[in-house]
Amino acid sequence: MGEVELSCLAYVKMYLHACLFPRCSVNGLLLSSSPAGGAVCVTDCVPLLHSHLPLAPITQLALTQVDVWCAQTQQRIVGYYQANACVSDCSPTPCALKIADKIAEQCNNAVLLMIDGGKMSPDYRVPPIVMYERKDSRWTLKDKHTIMLRQWEETREIAGQLLDSGDHSLLVDFDSHLDDITRDWTNQKLNAKIAELASPANAEQQLKAM
């Protein structure tokens, strides 16, 4: 089907979420600030849970709250990501398919992204992700060539830097927010840090273009 672009911000937060809870399955929502139609641009993500993913109440609550927040900030929910606790199996679980189905009801080129835990070590040169799209009411593997990560090297650098400095502990997922509601699941602080690290690259790009 169509092309999917994954932004640095979305990738880094997803990656850090998986790193923050290495012993649990984690999941989250993929968002886009671009208008519908054409390629899917995943510009941000909201990390959701790190415990009891299949249970309904908190997932429903999170989906509703993120929906409201998206309406307030001109974003749309365009996908779902999950990283399984068991590193040897990165196939979508029934709960992943269920939530992705729900998202697809509102967004017809929604994507389902599984993080491949086995490929997350620093010596792996390619993004450790597997993407699925909806074809004939089933989630099918997406052609790798239709998935784009601009500035992949810089993105990977930034993720690594934040891990090394321990800043990944700044990440707040919805579960952590419920444990302490003063913590912000929209992650404004972490977003700012990532933007700071990303901007030298942007500045260089702009210089080259000029």
Partner 1 sequence: MASVSEMYDVTWEEMRDKLRKWREDNHRNSEQIVDVAEELINEHASKLGDDIWIIYEQVMIAALDCSRDDLAWTCLQELKKQFPGSQRVKRLGGMRLEALEKYEEAGKQYDSILQEDPTNTAARKRKISILKAQGKNTDAIRELNEYLELFVGDQEAWHELSDLYINEHDYGKAAFCLEELMMTNPHNHLYCEQYAEVKYTQGGLENLELSRKYFAQALKLNNRNMRALFGLYMSASHIAASPKVNAAVKKANVKYAAWAANQINRAYQLAGRGTKENKCSVKAVEEMLESMQITMS
Question: Does residue number 183 form part of the binding site for partner 1 (CB under 8 A)?
Answer: yes
Gap between the Cα atoms of 13 and 27, Å rounded: 11
Amino acid at 54: P
Contact stretch for partner 1 (CB under 8 A) within 2-10, 64-72, 137-145, 201-209: 64-72
Which of 122, 160, 128 lies closest to 144, judged by CA? 128
Q: What is the CA 209 to chain-centroid distance, rounded?
A: 29
Residues in 111-170 at the binding interface with partner 1, rule: CB under 8 A? none
* Helix, strand, coil abundance in the chain, percent, nearest 5: 45, 20, 35
Binding segment (CB under 8 A) for partner 1, from list 82-90, 128-136, 141-149, 196-204: 82-90
Chosen residue from 35, 37, 94, 122 binding partner 1 by CB under 8 A: 94
DSSP state of 167: G
Q: Does 24 bind partner 1 (CB under 8 A)?
A: no
Query: How far is the C-alpha of 15 from the C-alpha of 55, rounded, in Å?
Result: 23
Binding segment (CB under 8 A) for partner 1, from list 3-11, 74-82, 87-95, 100-108: 87-95
Q: Which two tokens stand for residue 164?
A: 């090394």
Q: Which residues bind partner 1 (CB under 8 A)?
A: 23, 52, 54-58, 60-61, 64-66, 68-69, 71-73, 86, 88-89, 93-95, 177-179, 181-186, 188-189
